[in-house]
């Protein structure tokens, strides 16, 4: 049984604000057995998994920790919204937040366009995982601002999260460096020449150049903000 199951089962009951006795009665098991499930001492059968999923309104994949999407929906490129193409401004916020979002969105669009054209699937995966991890880390820090947010919603405790993210980021960096194209083997490097980027992507290039300039200035201590 996936280790996330006991934690998720317990978390769902607490979110619903019901006692273990109440949940056990509704699910047709004894309180002692439900306690064993929630503590990871016993593994339930398929029938209980399905019943628990229906009871809490989540998929069995979510219960088993295979996804953080409660409905268990698989992510595909076709199903993801493209905020760049949305005509209505559904994302609101301060001017600073809007500028930052546009700079990041445009820069990532250009960056992954270049990666996609190069076609190295492993490189794309490692770059994506690096960025996923960085955003995950930021999300967890901000999520922890509120004492009402349950740390148990995540399999990695907050106390360990920062260190584990740093390790994952370093692993990605190592794989990215290892996977650098070798001209001696006839491997072609990704074309990231700034002059060609500005020529080929006139609408996106200013965002990427702004991102690179701002990051460089901040690292050199020239600026304190964006």
59-95 tens-digit pLDDT: 998 898 887 778 776 555 554 455 555 545 556 667 7
**Distance from the Cα of residue 11 to its chain's centroid:** 20
Domain boundaries, the chain: 4-63, 95-219
Span 4-63: which CATH code? 1.10.260.40
Digit-coded pLDDT (tens) for 166-185: 999 999 999 999 988 877 77
CA distance 35 to 2: 17
What percentage of the chain has pLDDT greater than the value 70? 88
Does position 223 have pLDDT exceeding 90, yes or no?
no
CA separation, residue 86 to residues 20, 81, 203 (Å) = 45, 8, 17
Residue 147, pLDDT above cutoff 50: yes
Tokens 């584990």 belong to residue:
164
Cα Rg of the chain, angstroms: 23
Alpha-carbon distance of 134 to 128, in angstroms, equals: 10
The per-residue pLDDT for 1 is 44
Sign of the torsion angle spanned by Cα atoms 205, 208, 210, 213: negative
Residues 6+ apart with CB under 8 A from 127: 111, 112, 115, 172, 176
Residues composing the chain: 226
Using alpha carbons only, what angle is made at residue 89 by residues 88 and 92, rounded to the nearest 5 degrees? 155
* Confidence (pLDDT) at 181: 80
Cα separation of the two ends of the chain: 46
Mean pLDDT of the chain: 86
Joined tokens for residue 77: 């490129």
Q: What percent of the chain has pLDDT over 90?
A: 50
């Amino acid at each position: 049984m996936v280790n996330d199951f006991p934690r998720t089962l317990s978390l769902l009951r607490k979110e619903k604000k019901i006692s273990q006795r109440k949940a056990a009665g509704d699910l047709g098991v004894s309180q002692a057995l439900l306690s064993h499930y929630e503590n990871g001492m016993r593994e339930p059968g398929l029938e209980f998994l399905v019943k628990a999923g229906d009871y809490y309104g989540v998929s069995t994949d979510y219960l088993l920790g295979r996804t953080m999407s409660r409905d268990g929906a698989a992510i595909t490129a076709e199903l993801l919204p493209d905020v760049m193409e949305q005509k209505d401004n559904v994302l609101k916020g301060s001017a600073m937040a809007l500028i930052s979002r546009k700079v990041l969105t445009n820069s990532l669009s250009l960056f992954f366009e270049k990666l996609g054209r190069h076609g190295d699937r492993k490189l794309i995966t490692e770059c994506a995982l690096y960025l996923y991890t960085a955003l995950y880390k930021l999300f967890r820090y901000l999520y922890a601002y509120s004492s009402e947010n349950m740390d148990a919603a995540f399999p990695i405790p907050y106390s360990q999260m920062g260190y584990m993210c740093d390790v994952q980021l370093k692993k990605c960096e190592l794989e990215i460096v290892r996977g650098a194209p070798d001209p001696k083997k006839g491997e072609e490097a990704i074309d990231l020449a700034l002059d060609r980027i500005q020529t080929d992507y006139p609408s996106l290039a200013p965002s990427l150049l702004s991102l690179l300039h701002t990051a460089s200035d901040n690292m050199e201590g020239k600026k304190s903000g964006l």
